[in-house]
Amino acid sequence: MIYILLSIFCSVTVAILLKLAKRYQISIIQAVTVNYLTALALCFFFFKPDVKLVTSAAPWPIYIALAILLPTIFLFLAASIKNLGIVKTDIAQRLSLFIPILAAYFIFQEDFNYLKIIGLCIGFPAILLTFLRKTEEDKKGNWVYPVMVFVGFGVIDVLFKQIALYKALPYTTSLFTVFCLSFIVSLIIVTVMVIHGKIKIQLVNLACGLILGLFNFGNILFYMKAHKALAENPSTVFAAMNLGVIIVGSLIGIIAFKEKLTKLNYLGILLALAAVVFIKLSQDAV
C-alpha cells in the first residue's frame, strides 16, 4: 500500500508544481525538456535497460508517436492546470482511462460486462459536469485544454499498452527509449524557440524541470512497484491510484489553491469516483 500512496503523492505533486509554474514565471517547455532528461537518467539507473535489444524490428511507429505526444500533452496538462485548476485537470487525466477501455472493446474485441458499461455511462456525464461552469474564462476556449488532456492521456495509455504487448523487448527498455525520444523532441522545440527569441534559457527553469522529473518518474516507479507487490490484485492498484489522485488532488485544489467549483462540479467529482469504482468492480468480475 505504501507504493500506491507514494505514487499518488508524486502524481499530485507534479500537478502542484505545474500550478505554481505561473506564479514563478517558469518556462514550461524548458522544464518539460529537463524533466525527460531526468526521467531518462533515473530510468537508466533503476531499470538498467539493455539498449542493444532495441533494433529496427522494435515498434518504432509507436515509440515516435509517444515521443511526440508525451511532451505535447504535458504542455496541455500545464495549460489546463493554469487555466482551470488542479481539480478539473486531474479528473480529466484520470477519466481518460475510458479511451483505452473503449479501444479494448472496439479494437481488441474484449468483452464488456454490465459493471463496465455502468462505469462508462456514469463517467461521461461526470466529465461534462466537472467542466461545466458559466464564466468569462470558458468563453475564451479554455475547455479545450482538459479535453486535450482527456484524449491525449487516453491515446498515450493505448500506445503504452501496445508496447507492453511487444514481448521481444522488456517494457522498461521500451520506456527508456520513449523517454530518450521525448527528450530529443522537447529539445528541438526549445532550440527552435531560443533561436527565434521566444524564450531564454534560465537556471530556474532547469531546476524546476529537475524536480518535475524526479516526481514524474517517481509516479511511474512506485506505480510499477505497486503492481509488482500486488500482482494478484491489479484492479486494486488501479482503483486506489485513480480514486486517490482524484480525492487528494480535489482537496488540495479546493483548500490550498481556493479553486471555485459549482454544485454541478461537485456532483461531477462524485460521479467520477463512482465511475472508477464500477470499472474496478468490472475488472474483479472478469
pLDDT in single tens digits along all 286 residues of the chain: 799 999 999 999 999 999 999 888 899 999 999 999 999 999 999 999 999 999 999 999 999 999 999 999 999 999 999 988 999 999 999 999 888 888 877 876 777 788 888 998 998 898 888 877 655 555 556 888 999 999 999 999 999 988 988 888 999 999 999 999 999 999 999 999 999 998 899 999 999 999 999 999 999 999 999 988 887 777 778 888 999 999 999 999 999 999 988 899 999 999 999 999 998 888 777 5
DSSP 58: S
169: left (phi over 0), alpha (psi -120 to 50) or beta: beta
What is the rounded distance in angstroms from the CA atom of residue 172 to the CA atom of residue 176? 6
Q: Which three cell numbers stand for residue 41?
A: 537518467
- In degrees rounded to 5, what are phi and psi of residue 279? -65, -40
> Is 210 within the bounds of a domain?
no
Compute CA 13 distance to the chain's CA centroid, rounded to the nearest angstrom. Answer: 12
Q: Is residue 74 part of a domain?
A: yes
Q: For cell 487528494, what's the residue?
A: 248
> Is the pTM of the predicted complex or chain greater than 0.75?
yes
Tell me if 178 is assigned to some domain: no
Domain count along the chain: 1
Distance CA 249, CA 108 (A): 32
Query: Cell numbers at residue 183, please?
Result: 527528450
Q: Per the domain annotation, does 188 fall within a domain? A: no
Express each pLDDT in 129-152 by its tens digit: 887 765 555 555 688 899 999 999
What is the span of the domain harbouring residue 227?
A: 2-25+54-166+217-285
pLDDT in tens, 91-100: 999 999 888 8
Say which residues have a Cβ less than 8 Å from residue 102's Cβ, sequence separation at least 6: 120
**CA angle (152, 147, 87) in 5-degree steps:** 105
Give the CA dihedral 275, 7, 176, 148, nearest 10 degrees: 40
| Among 64, 84, 53, 42, CA closest to 259 | 84
- Radius of gyration of the chain from Cα atoms? 19
Question: Looking at the domain assignment, is residue 196 inside a domain?
Answer: no
| Residue 279, in any domain of the structure | yes
- Indicate whether 265 belongs to any domain: yes
